[in-house]
Amino acid sequence: MKTTQKITIIFILFVAIYSCSTKKDTIISRNYHAVTSKYNILFNGKEAFRNGIEAINNEYKDDWFQQLPIEPIAFEEDKIAAPKFNSGPGAGFGGRRNKAEEKKELTTFEKAEDKAIKAIQKHGMNIEGMERNRQIDDAYLLLGKSRYYSQRFVPAVEAFNYVIANYPNANLIAETKIWRAKAAIRMDNEERAIETMNLLLVIKDTLETNLPDKIKEQGHTALAMAYVKSDSLQKAKKHLQLATRTLENRAQAARNLFILGQMYSQENKKDSARFVFQKLIDFKKAPYKYKIHANIELAKNSFNDSTAKEDLKKLNKLLKIRENRPYLDELYYQKAVLHQNNDSIQIAVENYNKSLRAKDGSDKQKTFTYEKLGNLSFKEDAYVQASAYYDSVLQVTTDTLDLRIRRVKRKHKNLASLIKFEEVVATNDSIIKIASLSEEQQKDFFEKYITKLKKADEDAAQLRLNQLAFGNSGGGLQAADKGNWYFYNNQSLSFGKTEFQKIWGARKLEDNWRWAEKATIGGATKDSTQVTKTNAKYDLNTYLSAIPTDQIVIDSLKIYRNQALYELGLIYKEQFKNQNLAKQRLERLASLQPAKELILPINWHLYQIYNNLDDVPQAENHKKVILTDYSDTKFAQIIQNPDTAFKEEEVEVNEVENTYKEMYYLYKNDKFEEVIVKIDEFLPTIPNSELLPKFELLKAFAIGKFKDKEAYKMALEFVAVSYGNTEEGKKAKAIVAQLSK
C-alpha cells in the first residue's frame, strides 16, 4: 500500500513538473501557463495599469479656461526614450530591470510593465515559431500601453508591432493598432496615425467585420487627437462627434463631449455648444468635474435673456449644494458675468468679490475676476481702483507670457503715471489747504485727526488681544484646564501687558484711567520716556510743526500741483480718450493762475476737447485766446487753415514707416529744407498715424539746423504741447527747457 502511494505521489509530481515546461506543446502545458499568466501575473499587472489610469483621471489638473487636451496627461517635451536592448529573455523589449533599478519605488505603470515582461519571460510558449500561450498577446499589449504612459514611445511601438506581426487574428488587434497610432501622434507622426486609423475604421469596419462600439470610440478619439495635433479642427470635431455617439468609456466620453462643446463655443455656435454641454450634464455616469463645468459652460453660452435667466437659476441651485464648494469661485464668477451682461453691475461686483473670497479658489480664476473688476472700474473712470485690480492680476498670475496677461500689464503701466500725478494733486492740495488755515483751525483739524487715530489704534490692539485670547488659544474658555485660556496663558498675558503699556503707558487701576495725565502716576521714569516716544504720533506739535509756512515752499507745491494737473489733462485726453475728465483737469488748472508757458497749451487742448464734445461756444472762447494772444504760433495757423492741416486719406502703416526712413536719411545727409517740405506735404495724409510725433520732432530738428533759435524753439513747443504724453513730446519739452535757460 505504501509503495502504491509513493508511486502515485511521484507520478503527480512528474506530471506537474512536465506541465510547467514552456517547451512542451501539450493541452496541460498550454492551459497551465495561460491560466497562471492570466489570473496571477497579468491580473496584477492590469490592476496596476488601471490604478495608474485612475490616478491620471483624478489628479490631472485641467485648465478649464483653455480647450482641454483629449488625453488628460502632460508629457515632457523631447523625452522620447530609445529602446534598450539586453541579452537574454525579453531582448528588444526592455528586458528586466537590474537590481539597482528594482530598489527604486516603481510607478504604477512601471509595475504593470514589469508584470507584462515577467509573464512573457516565464510563461511564453514560442514553439517552432508559434506562440502557444493565448495570453501572451495580452501581455505584449499591456507592455506597450505601460511604456506609452511612461513616455517611452519607441519601445512601446515595438511592443505593439510585435502583436500586430505575430497575432494578426487576435481579438485585440484593433485595440493594438489604436495604441500604436496614439504613440505615433506623440512622436509627431500624426499623418501615419491618420492613415492607419482610417484603414481600421473605414475599411475594416465596413468590409470585413463590424467593430465593437468600445473600439470605435477609441479609434475616433485617436483620430481626433491626430487632427488636433495637425490643426485640422473641423475634422477633429467630426471624429469627436462620432466618438460620442456611444458612451462606453465614461471618463473619456465625458471629456470628448466637453471638448466638442468647447469647439462649438469657440466658433460662436452657441446652440450646438449648449446641446453638447446639456448632453454631458444628462450623462449620469460622467465624472462630476465634467458635469459641473458643463453647467458653467452652459451659462457662458447664453445667447438671450431667456437662456440667461434659466442659467442663472441653475447656478443659484448649484451654489447651494454642499459638494460644489470646491467650485464656488467659478460658479460665483459666472453668475457675476451673467449679471454684468444684464447691466446689473452692483450685483455683478458683489458676486465677483464672493468669487475672490471663495476658499481654495484657483489663482487663474482670480486673475479673470480681478481683471473683470478692473475693467468695470476703468469703465466708471475709477482709474486708481482699476490700477489696483490690474496689479492684483499681475501679483497672482504665474503665466506672464500669456497674451491676456500682457495686455493687463500694459493697462497697468499706462495707469501708473496717471496715479502718480493724481497723488501729487491730492497731496499738494491737502497741504496747501491746511497751510491756508488759521492757527486755531489747524489745531482743531489735527486734534480731531489724533482722536480718530487713537480710536483706530485702540480698536486694532483690542482685536489683536482678542485673537490671542480666543482665536489662537486652541480652545478658548474650554481649554482653561490646559492653561490655554487668556489669563492662564503666560505668553498671551505678557503680550497683552506690553501692548497696553505701549499704547497707554503705566496707569493706575482707577476711574478715568484713559486721561493723559494719569500716564505718569505710579510709573517709573523709564515708562514715561517710553510713552513720550511711542505717543509722538498723538502729539499735536508733531503735525503743526510740519505745516509749511515759507511762501516759497507753498508756491513750489502749487507749481508741482499745476504741472500734475496739466499732465493729467493730457493723459485723459490722449491716452484714455476721456474728454470729460481731461476737460475737468485743464479747466481747473486754468482757474489756478498757471505759469505763463502753460496758458497756450491749456487753451489749445481745451479748444480741441470742446470741438470733440460739440460745445461750439466754449471752443470759440479758447480759439479766440489763441488767435488774439498767440497769433504767430503754429496753433493759430492750424485753426485758420484747417483744410490744409488735415486730409481724410488712408496710408498703409508700412508706407508710413518707409517714408519716415526716407525723411530720416535726408536729414542725415544734411538736406534739411527738403526734409521740411516733404514732411509738410506728407503729414496731412496721415492725420491718425501713431508716427505723427516722430515726423514732427524730425521736422523740428531740421528747422533747428538752418533757422534761428526762436523758430527752433517754436517748432519744439508745438511737439511738446501737441504730443506731450509721448516720448517725442517729452524729449521736445526737455530741449525747450534747455533753450530757455
Q: How confident is the model at residue 475 (pLDDT cuts 50, 70, 90)?
A: very low
Q: Could you tell me if 603 and 626 are in contact, meaning their C-beta atoms sit under 8 angstroms apart?
A: yes
From the list 522, 518, 539, the residue with the least C-alpha distance to 454 is 539
Whether pLDDT at 35 is above 80: no
Burial 248-272 (b: 16+ CB within 10 A, else e): ebebbbbbbbbbbbbbbbeeeebeb
Looking at residues 7-34, what average pLDDT do you find? 57
pLDDT recorded at residue 84: 47
β-bridge partners, 131: 126
Q: How confident is the model at residue 504 (pLDDT cuts 50, 70, 90)?
A: low
pLDDT recorded at residue 124: 62
Whether pLDDT at 415 is above 60: yes
177-186, 190-199, 466-475, 732-741: segment of lowest average pLDDT: 466-475
Q: How confident is the model at residue 663 (pLDDT cuts 50, 70, 90)?
A: confident
* pTM of the entire predicted model: 0.70
Looking at residues 401-420, what average pLDDT do you find? 88
Whether pLDDT at 266 is above 80: yes
Whether pLDDT at 7 is above 70: no
SS (H, E, C) 638-692: HHHCHHHHCCCCCCCHHHHHHHHHHHHHHHHCCCHHHHHHHHHHHHHHCCCCCCH
From the list 564, 589, 601, the residue with the least C-alpha distance to 732 is 601
548 sits in the region (left: phi over 0; alpha: psi -120 to 50; else beta) called beta
CB atoms closer than 10 angstroms to residue 452: 10
- Residue bearing the bigger pLDDT, 310 or 115: 310
- Residue bearing the bigger pLDDT, 521 or 618: 618
55 sits in the region (left: phi over 0; alpha: psi -120 to 50; else beta) called alpha
Looking at residues 615-640, what average pLDDT do you find? 88
In tens, the pLDDT along 285-295 reads: 999 999 999 99
Whether pLDDT at 499 is above 70: no
**Sign (positive/negative) of CA torsion 587, 588, 593, 594?**
negative
pLDDT recorded at residue 106: 78
Residue 117: strand, helix, or coil: helix
The span from the CA of 585 to the CA of 576, in Å, is 14
Q: How confident is the model at residue 132 (pLDDT cuts 50, 70, 90)?
A: low
Looking at residues 40-58, what average pLDDT do you find? 85
Tell me which DSSP letter residue 548 carries: -
Looking at residues 655-662, what average pLDDT do you find? 78
Whether pLDDT at 255 is above 90: yes
Domains in the chain (CATH in brackets) are 1-170 (no CATH), 326-429 (1.25.40.10), 439-543 (no CATH), 653-739 (1.25.40.10)
SS (H, E, C) 582-620: HHHHHHHHHCCCCCHHHHHHHHHHHHHHHHHCCCHHHHH
195-204, 408-417, 488-497: segment of lowest average pLDDT: 488-497
14-28, 176-190, 698-712: segment of lowest average pLDDT: 14-28
Whether pLDDT at 477 is above 50: no
- Residue bearing the bigger pLDDT, 268 or 641: 268
- Residue bearing the bigger pLDDT, 254 or 167: 254
pLDDT recorded at residue 27: 63
State the burial class of residue 694 (Cβ atoms within 10 Å of its Cβ: 0-12, 13-18, 19+). Answer: buried
Burial 345-358 (b: 16+ CB within 10 A, else e): eeebbebbebbbeb
State the burial class of residue 62 (Cβ atoms within 10 Å of its Cβ: 0-12, 13-18, 19+). Answer: middle
Q: Which three cell numbers stand for residue 501?
A: 503699556
- Residue bearing the bigger pLDDT, 690 or 327: 327
From the list 725, 120, 52, the residue with the least C-alpha distance to 421 is 725
Looking at residues 331-359, what average pLDDT do you find? 94
Residue 302: strand, helix, or coil: coil
Q: Which three cell numbers stand for residue 176?
A: 493594438
In tens, the pLDDT along 56-88 reads: 878 888 999 999 999 988 776 545 444 443 433
pLDDT recorded at residue 298: 94
* Strongest mean pLDDT among 308-312, 481-485, 672-676: 308-312
Whether pLDDT at 651 is above 50: no
* Strongest mean pLDDT among 71-75, 82-86, 297-301, 464-468: 297-301
In tens, the pLDDT along 550-585 reads: 888 888 899 889 988 988 998 898 888 899 999 999
- DSSP symbols for 317-329: HHHH-GGGGGGHH
- Residue bearing the bigger pLDDT, 529 or 130: 130
CB atoms closer than 10 angstroms to residue 509: 6
**Sign (positive/negative) of CA torsion 433, 435, 437, 443?**
positive
pLDDT recorded at residue 523: 44
18-22, 112-116, 248-252, 310-314: segment of lowest average pLDDT: 18-22
For 458, 532, 589, the CA distances from 511, given in Å and listed in that order, are: 18, 22, 55
Looking at residues 390-404, what average pLDDT do you find? 90
Looking at residues 608-619, what average pLDDT do you find? 91
Summary mean pLDDT of the chain: 81
308-312, 361-365, 425-429, 478-482: segment of lowest average pLDDT: 478-482
For 83, 94, 124, 137, 158, the CA distances from 86, given in Å and listed in that order, are: 10, 7, 18, 21, 14
pLDDT recorded at residue 662: 80
3-state helix, strand, coil in the chain (%, to 5): 75, 0, 25
Beta strands in 415-515 (DSSP E): none
Helices 579-590 and 551-570, axial angle in degrees (round to 10): 150
pLDDT recorded at residue 631: 85
